Amino acid sequence: MTRIDRIHLAYTLTFVTPFHFGTGLREGLLDRTVVRDSGKYLYVPGSTLKGTVREHCERLARLYEEDDSDERTRVVDLYDEKKALWGLSQTNTMITRIFGSQQQPGHLFFNDARLSDEERTTFDGGEQANQDTEGKYKSAQTDIYTQVRLDRPTRTAVAGALFTSEFGVRNLAFEGSIEGWLECTPIKSIPEGPTYSLLLFLAGLRLLDAIGGNKSVGKGRCDLAITSLTVNGKGRGEWQSWFNDLGALSGYADAIGEEV
């Protein structure tokens, strides 16, 4: 029997290395600029977080899939064109129940993560700030790096491929939230516990260790800490103990079969 849970999750995202969320636009001598809000503060786009967490959840779901599980509950690799087209009709996998599908939108909303009040005060310059110094303080949110694109076969610099990028500085902390609804089957082995999709989602969040551009060269390394989880208006401080039964995810196909 499916259950609809109202979810509200708050988290803090702290970067331990420089990070880049690009605008796709140039500005002056900068070839790659980072996103800022209307107040000129850096932020983490919710859509970027959603995509990265989905990748982690997909890997976990495949890890716990049974080899003989129903094709209707299997996770489709969206990078495989044939399988992705075949999976257009899938609406009841753990992944589609969390993030939606081509046929049915998801009902979890990832809000942009913003700088904490403490961080904002730092970059405002405090009471001593004025219009002339405000821009100077806010520029301290970023560093500039000049890079060159390498030709992989020869491992030499590509002619004309020198570019300058803007990166957020390390140790910045952002606060964000995820809220909405999850409709899925409760896990019988965890009394009064999560549904399959909620457990998978929490595990995917915990696996997040890098986000944004240039991850392959060590940028965007981060730590995501869940600060609160509310399910149907009730605080669930015991959510970390649910990971002791993470293997229960392998029973998802059987649980769906019982519903049918």
Inter-CA distances, 45 with 17, 113, 189, Å = 18, 7, 36
* CA nearest neighbour of 12 among 169, 210, 227: 227
Place of tokens 């240039």: 214
Instruction: Tell me the C-alpha distance between 77 and 203, whole Å.
Output: 19
Which token pair is 232?
Answer: 């149907």
* CA nearest neighbour of 226 among 210, 205, 243, 242: 205
* DSSP-assigned letter for residue 39: T
pLDDT at position 57 is 95
169 phi and psi, to 5 degrees? -75, 155
pLDDT at position 156 is 75
Domain boundaries, the chain: 3-259
pLDDT at position 68 is 45
- 3-class secondary-structure state, position 165: strand
25 phi and psi, to 5 degrees? -120, 150
Q: CA 6, 8, 11: angle at the middle one, nearest 5?
A: 155
pLDDT at position 196 is 95
The interaxial angle of helices 196-207 and 46-64, nearest 10 deg, is 110
Instruction: Tell me the C-alpha distance between 214 and 19, whole Å.
Output: 8
Q: Is the dihedral of CA 143, 146, 151, 152 positive or negative?
A: negative
Inter-CA distances, 60 with 129, 148, 238, Å = 48, 35, 21
Instruction: Tell me the C-alpha distance between 154 and 215, whole Å.
Output: 22
Q: pLDDT tens digits for the chain (260 residues)?
A: 789 999 999 999 999 999 999 998 888 878 889 999 999 999 999 999 999 999 999 999 999 876 545 454 455 455 555 555 544 445 578 999 999 887 788 899 999 999 988 888 888 876 555 555 556 788 899 999 887 777 778 777 777 678 888 999 999 999 999 999 999 999 999 989 999 999 999 999 999 999 999 898 899 999 999 999 999 999 999 999 999 999 999 999 888 866 55
Say how many Å lie between the first and final Cα of the chain, rounded.
9
CB 100 within 8 A of CB 106: yes
Is 90 exposed, middle or buried (CB count within 10 Å of its CB: 0-12, 13-18, 19+)?
A: buried
